[in-house]
Structure 1
Amino acid sequence: MDIVNTLMVENNSNELMMATIFGSIIFFVFTAFCVSYLLIFRRKRQEHKDQLVASQKEFQAQLLQSQVEVQELTYNGLSRELHDNVGQLLNTALLLLGLAEREIPQPPDTLKTAYATLGDAINELRSLSKSLNREWLEQFNLLDNLTTEVKRLQQPQLSVSTVFPSNTRVELEPAMQIILFRIIQEAMQNAIKHAQASNIQIHLEEKAQQLLVRIIDNGKGFNAKEPTAGLGIKNMQHRVHVLGGQITWESMLPQGTTVQVSIPIKQ
């Protein structure tokens, strides 16, 4: 009987041990399943959030790109208007002044000055019309057009210059170069119109797959920490956003302003 009881106790112990082991296995499997499910759920939820953010960014980029395209179409229409209408009127006025100058034996200096000034105005108008023409901009080169724009803005009371290495190349599509050119134009116009600058420098360099542009002026500056709602600044921010870059303003009253633009270059 003792042997039988001993065997029964051992069998019960073995069964209890097996049940404990089996229960532990089930518990660990269930726990692992719950943890895995939780991790997968969190990952799926994060992926969904990332997709929503990406979709929103894409929508904003497309919206801003559309705004830029509308502005470029407006520029194109303005270019044709300047060339076909205003340009023709000025050319007619120049022709009439030339005829009047020939008919007068000794034309006054004021008439000669007016003739020369009107000729300069027509050349300026042609340059401006050219810079607004979208068809001409299809083969756009940022560096060449910056050089032309600098010459156009150059005045006795205003010095504008470009600073970039001789081997600098802008590895951006023409459409993107046009947008960047508009940003620089806006910065220069702000410096001339609002900051009343007498010296503007445009620095351009490529660094760490980024195209860095700095527009530095010696104008009266502004408080960069205060929020600004100017249309020009908003346009610049929108255009930089379309290019996937960043833009900052560094300014201290009254020590001028530095506008820095960083655009990624896709290799």
Structure 2
Amino acid sequence: MENWEGSGMIAKGIGIILLFVFILVLALVLLIRENFQRIARVKLEEDKVRLEHKQKLLEANVQVQEQERTRIAADIHDILIGKLTVLKIKNEIGYEELESNKLIKECITVARQLSHDLSLPMLKYASLEELISEILVPWKSVFSIQFRTDIRSDAALSDTVKIQLTRIIQELITNIVKHAEATEIVIHLRHTEKILLLHLYDNGIGFDTNGKAKGLGIKNIEFRTDYINAHYKMRSAPGKGTSYLIVLKESEFEK
């Protein structure tokens, strides 16, 4: 009798243990399932955010291109065509050859600048330093420009990084021409193994950064820096010029 009761207790104990193990395994399976579902939901949400971000970048890129086309068209109309019209009138009424040559030279300068804005020559084979030097040439007749370089690395930069940084320089100079009333521009390019730093300063009238809304030029610059994952800062104050700083980390050099 005692043996039978002992066997029954053992069987009951085994049953309880098996039930406990079953519940534990079931809970573990449910936990793993919930964890996989949570990971899947997070991944879907990340994919959705990534897709929305990509869409916004594409839309912003289209907007930037349209704004640049509009700016270039305005430059052609207001500057180049204006000078050619003056030259035509002077040619019709009689003109000084020296004055005519001056106007032709100005037209060539404007056309060269517009050409640089539309396409960067030898992009794949030129360094960022060479590209910046090239686009500064036409502006040296307008501003006193100092271009300082501190190149301590031969680390390659992607075409995307080079063209976006070059476009940023063009956009900054355009802003200076339109708003700064500056006479001097200082550009400092520093490239090391770990970091690329681009600093531009003008001695113009400056402005209150807290009270002035961002114009399209500044928004374009912010888009371009975001596009290459660079850090961007601007400092200005009335009467103290404006300073722009763009910093790119090594991990983004070839993206």
Range of TM-score over shorter length: 0.7 to 0.9
Alignment partner, residue 107 of structure 1: none
Distance, in Å, in 2 between the alignment partners of 1:72 and 1:209 is 32
Please tell me whether the aligned partners of residues 83 and 129 of structure 1 are also in contact (alpha carbons under 8 angstroms): no
Q: Deviations over 1:74-108 (max 9, x none)?
A: 567678879996675566567679x7547xxxxxx
In the alignment, which residue of structure 2 is the partner of 1:150? 136
Greater shift after overlay, 122-131 or 86-95? 86-95
Unaligned 5+ runs, structure 1: 103-111
1:195 paired residue among 174, 180, 188: 180
User: TM-score under structure 2 normalisation?
Assistant: 0.77
Amino acid across the alignment from 1:144: E
* RMSD between superposed Cα atoms in Å: 3.5
**Residue 37 in 1 paired to residue 24 in 2?**
no
Cα shift at 1:266: 1.5
**What amino acid is aligned across from residue 151 of structure 1 in structure 2?**
V
1:202-241 equivalent positions in 2, closer than 5 A? 202-207=187-192, 210-226=195-211, 228-241=213-226
Partner of 2:246: 261
Q: Are the aligned partners of 1:200 and 1:217 in contact in 2 as well (CA < 8 Å)?
A: yes
Asked whether the 8 Å contact 1:216–1:256 carries over to 2, the reply is yes
**Structure-1 residue corresponding to 2:60:** 64
Q: Which runs of 5+ in 2 are unaligned?
A: none
Q: Residue type of the partner of 2:240?
A: Q
Larger radius of gyration: 1
- Please give the alpha-carbon distance, in whole angstroms, between the structure 1 residues aligned to 2:79 and 2:153: 33
TM-score normalised to structure 1 length: 0.74
Cα offset, 1:154, TM superposition: 2.7
User: Is the Cα contact below 8 Å between 2:176 and 2:202 reproduced in 1?
Assistant: yes
**How many angstroms apart in 2 are the aligned matches of 1:240 and 1:163?**
21
Contact 1:188–1:215, Cα closer than 8 Å, also in 2: no
CA 1:190 to 1:80, structure 2 compared with 1: closer, same or farther past 3 Å?
closer
* Percent of aligned pairs sharing the same letter: 19
Q: Name the amino acid aligned to 1:65.
A: N
Match of 1:251 in 2: 236
The code of the aligned residue for 1:261 comes to I
What is the CA–CA distance in structure 1 between the aligned matches of 2:239 and 2:72, rounded to whole Å?
A: 37
Contact kept? 1:78, 1:132, Cα under 8 Å = no
1:139 aligns with 2:127: no
Q: Is contact 1:94-1:118 (8 Å) kept?
A: no
